[in-house]
């Protein structure tokens, strides 16, 4: 029975190396949140510029077809 307890205990020790401490999770979550915030801002800016550019192109096409 004691051998079984030691076998289970020593087989679980390497698993603790894969789980970071709680204080590391806070920094990781903060970094991910900041990355997502910057990505969203950049995506919105790009979307607005692309929308503005496409609307100008469509307006030019419509005005050129109407005048001919």
User: Is 67 a residue whose pLDDT tops 90?
Assistant: no
Give the Cα separation of 28 and 33 in Å (integer): 9
pLDDT tens for each residue of 17-60: 666 666 667 888 888 999 999 999 999 999 999 999 999 999 99
CA distances from 27 to 9, 31, 43, 54 (A): 30, 6, 24, 40
Rounded to two decimals, the pTM is 0.49
Give the Cα separation of 5 and 8 in Å (integer): 5
pLDDT confidence of residue 48: 93
Confidence of residue 5 (pLDDT cuts 50, 70, 90): confident
Kindly tell me the number of DSSP H helices and DSSP E strands found in the chain. Answer: 2, 0
């Amino acid at each position: 029975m004691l051998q079984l307890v030691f076998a289970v205990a020593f087989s679980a020790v390497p698993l603790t190396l894969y789980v970071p401490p709680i204080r590391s999770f806070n920094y990781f979550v903060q970094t991910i949140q900041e990355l997502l915030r910057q990505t969203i801002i950049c995506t919105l800016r790009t979307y607005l510029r692309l929308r503005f550019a496409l609307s100008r192109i469509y307006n030019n096409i419509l005005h050129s077809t109407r005048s001919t």
